[in-house]
Copies of this chain bind each other. A is one copy, B any other.
Amino acid sequence: MASRVVIVGAGFAGQHAYHELAEAGYEVTLVDRHPYTTFQPLLYQVATGGLNPGDIAFPLRRFVSRSKGRTKFRRATVTGIDTENKRVLTNRGEPIPYDTLVLAQGAGPNFFGIPGAKENARTIYSRAEALAVRDLLFSGLEQMTTQPDRERRFTVLVVGGGATGVEMAGTLAEMKSEAIPVVYPELSQDSFRVVLAEMADTLVAPFDPRLQRYTLHQLRKRGVDIRLGTAVKEVRPDSVDFADGSTMDVDLVIWASGFGAHPEVSEWGMPQGRGGRIEVEPNLQVKGHPDIYAIGDAAIEPGSPLPQLAQPAMQMGSHVGREIVAADKGLPPTPFGYDDKGTMATIGRNAAVAQFPSGRTVTGFPAWALWVGVHLATLLGGRNRLQAMVNTAFRYFAWPQSATNILGDTVVEDVQLDQSAGRPELPQQSE
């Protein structure tokens, strides 16, 4: 049997592949850039101070130590794949030999080549980025309090009206209306402004039109300045140009628009499709590499591209685990089939949208409660779940004060509102 399996990336996809193979008694080496795995769906809460980073991270050595058998963790960054000799090259330690390789390194933001976006906009797809956003946000507000005569409002522009952008804008709107008056009494509510720009003519496009309208209504009600059909042309340190020729002064741009492959993947010699995702066969084998599989955000099956969400990633992981076992038994490949359990997006307290394959839709408090339940239940590790519950409960009941938990380490220790100094160096993430 293929005794040695190497899994690159310990996100949802990698974890699920790991489980299947560890169960089956394989010699598995899990490789990740970081000593922890991050629960990405709640990163926007870290970015807005609602959760501490520790609440949504889990140590991978602890994760690996839980499974009996011949599994290992290697904290390292993959620098290349030697398909000839079947070895994964990393920045630390000896190359790791494999019989079968699973690529689950996830994806990063996609700036679609828009000038200045990469340099001047922030993303919340990684822990370090979410923390940088949080620190820019709270340090910025802090600084506003010492500039009462400042004419310009502190403006946060969220680019992208998908689930991530909506979650972010909704939470920022609650900060504005509920937290600022209490916690930053020196500031008037008007001194903080939340803008959401979406290229298309609707928010949360994949959802049912009723849910799209509900989302739009809820965000407007919460004071978000929503610009539909508005494409970003260029991002500068303190202003943004839109395609319609208008310009907006901004203090913080949050890029919630699109996933792209990690740049280094292009050096791995794998076939890359749309967005740089690795092209796979229906059974998730990498095209032309029978001993390599790609799953999660990192992979794309040209015939039926899947949304880059937790559910497909988890299912792909489990599928590939079973595929590897089956292949060793000489069984034929089985195409992966996505079992859509429904999708959700949260707008703010008591407001969310959920849609099920049956076509059934839920909004308002029920959808929000559902969202909270599903996310807490999925959080990896009892400890983290408990803490996230404590936090979420406090955020809900002790609001507004709990919106000010700028408690992590400041990646940006002290931020100038004029960010022309450029973004600080942030560690790359593999989640």
- Residues of A participating in the B interface, judged by any CB pair closer than 8 Å: 35-36, 52-55, 57-59, 61-62, 65-66, 72, 74-76, 92-94, 127-128, 131, 138-139, 142-143, 145-147, 182-186, 382-383, 386-387, 390-391, 394, 398, 401-402, 404-411, 413, 427
Contact = CB atoms under 8 A, between A and B. Distances in A.
A76 B142 CA distance: 10
Contact of A65 (B147, B182, B405, B410): B182
Given A74-B146, A92-B146, A386-B390, A62 B408 contact: no
Contacts of A57: 407
The copy count of this chain in the complex is: 2
Given A54-B52, A183-B62, A390-B386, A35 B406 contact: yes
Contacts of A93: 145-147
A59 B410 contact: no
A127 B406 CA distance: 13
A230 B61 CA distance: 36
9 tightest CB-CB pairs across the interface, nearest first?
A: A93-B146, A52-B54, A54-B407, A62-B401, A57-B407, A59-B404, A413-B427, A61-B183, A383-B394
Nearest to A56: B407
B146 A406 contact: no
Contacts of A391: 383, 387
Contacts of A138: 35
A59 B405 contact: yes
A58 B405 CA distance: 7
A146 B94 CA distance: 7
B76 A405 contact: no
Contacts of A185: 65
Contacts of A55: 52, 54
Nearest to A383: B394
A76 B146 contact: yes
A131 B409 contact: yes
A74 B386 CA distance: 33
B408 A409 contact: yes
Contacts of A66: 401
A52 B427 CA distance: 20
Contacts of A411: 409
Contacts of A61: 183-184, 404
Contacts of A127: 409
Nearest to A35: B406
Given A390-B383, A390-B387, A404 B62 contact: yes
B54 A408 contact: yes
Contacts of A72: 186
Given A35-B142, A383-B390, A413-B427, A407 B59 contact: yes
Contacts of A58: 407
B53 A406 contact: no
A332 B92 CA distance: 68
Nearest to A91: B414
Nearest to A77: B414
Contact of A75 (B142, B382, B407): B142
Contacts of A59: 401, 404-407
Nearest to A384: B407
Contacts of A128: 409
